[in-house]
Amino acid sequence: MKKKAFDCVQMKWDIQRKLRKEYEGLTVAERNRLAEAKILADPILGPWWRKVRKRSVEPMTVAESPAVYRPRRRSGRGRK
């Protein structure tokens, strides 16, 4: 079997491990502030995020925030 030069699954695991260590012991609010600070420090994402934030009324959330997990309700129209 040929050895891969780049393993994207391993890269994903490594990044997740690094982030878990970095976020360990932080509250969701602290994680949100840290994530936003990283985005704002990025030369590409920072300007885009500032523009989006000007138009946005809801605060930034991470996946742990309960608001993200609201189930969508289906209208049921057209299905019987």
Would you state the pLDDT for residue 2?
A: 75
Contacts of 49 (CB under 8 A, 6+ apart): 36, 39, 40
DSSP string for 2-65: PPPS--HHHHHHHHHHHHHHHHTT--HHHHHHHHHHHHHHSTTHHHHHHHHHHH--SPP--TTS
- Please answer whether residues 35 and 60 qualify as being in contact, where contact means their C-beta atoms are separated by less than 8 angstroms: yes
- pLDDT tens across the length of the chain (80 residues): 677 788 999 999 999 999 999 999 999 999 999 999 999 999 999 999 999 888 876 666 666 655 555 556 666 665 55
> Whole-prediction pTM value?
0.54
Closest CA to 40 of 30, 51, 31: 51
Would you state the pLDDT for residue 41?
A: 96
